[in-house]
Amino acid sequence: MHAFDVFRQYERNHWELSDIDFTAIDRSEVRPEYITLAKSAVMGECNSIAATHGFFNEFVDDYDFSAFACIWGYQELQHHYAFKAWLNALEVEVDQRPVDAMRAPYAPGSTPSATLATNIISELTVNHIYREVAQWVKEPVLNDILSRASRDEAGHAREFIHYTRTRLARLPHELPSVLETLYVYTSEARIKHPVGLFKDSLVQGVAEETIDTGFEIFLEKVAADGELERLHRKVRGAFGSMTGLELDTGAQIRRALAEAIA
């Protein structure tokens, strides 16, 4: 069972909240943008509860993936608490109301493979953004949290790719839904994330920061010219490697989708 191998690797390599020295925060290096970024990350990472619930509902016939979802959910909750603990150490209040508002599970995707594909995209996106933001952030403890979380997200993306590839080998008729998901998330010149697409409406008028707030800071303050296209190329390349198809452009994705449904 693949999740058993993931679990053993997790036991060898995982970090704990107690590994982070919150007393080492350099308050002289804390900028208002960092506070906003951390609050945005809190809002993004808290959705692991809703997502894990959704996974259990949708993959009721897949014990292996469900076991992995437990490991994934723990790590994502750890990220949520790490960013929250950094804010707490600075006496910054974190409003629990918008977190509570997003508790409901995600609805199933058009196919289970589409759900897995959506999570590949979200993990690759957050991995990229956390890594780039970590290089920009000068406060050392927040830098450490971002770096740890980025590495975790890379591992999560790898495992979601594994489960998608394995499922498509058994159920190739789900390929069109995977290609459609890729096109939806990479066809526009903006960052799309499932939390922003499906959950932000639940916290309108309640949350000052959402995950999209952090993405906006990334694009305005951190991203180099062409950064969004580099991110989209990374995502398309992962899907191309996973499916064996040429998916480097929107046109190629549309062509592959048309052939898959023909």
Question: What are the CA-CA distances from residue 43 to residues 13, 49, 191, 198, 205 (Å)?
Answer: 26, 12, 16, 13, 14
Per residue in 185-216, pLDDT (tens digit) is: 998 878 877 876 776 677 776 777 888 899 99
- Return the pLDDT at 210: 86
Q: Does domain 30-261 have CATH number 1.20.1070?
A: no
Burial of 167 (0-12, 13-18, 19+ CB in 10 A): buried
- Return the pLDDT at 206: 73
Per residue in 39-56, pLDDT (tens digit) is: 999 999 999 999 999 999
Per residue in 200-257, pLDDT (tens digit) is: 677 776 777 888 899 999 999 999 999 999 999 999 999 999 999 999 999 999 999 9
Question: Which alpha helices (DSSP H) does the chain contain, by range?
Answer: 2-13, 32-45, 48-58, 63-89, 96-101, 112-136, 140-170, 175-186, 194-198, 211-217, 227-243, 250-261
| Helices 175-186 & 112-136 angle (0-180, nearest 10) | 30
pTM strictly above 0.85: yes
- Return the pLDDT at 199: 66
- Return the pLDDT at 205: 67
**Mean per-residue pLDDT, 93-117:** 93
Question: What are the CA-CA distances from residue 1 to residues 17, 61, 144, 155, 218 (Å)?
Answer: 28, 14, 32, 17, 38
Q: Where are the domains of the chain?
A: 30-261
* CB-based contacts of 90-93 (< 8 A; 24+ apart in sequence): 90/25, 90/27, 90/30, 90/35, 92/35, 92/38, 92/39
CB count, 10 Å around CB of 92? 13
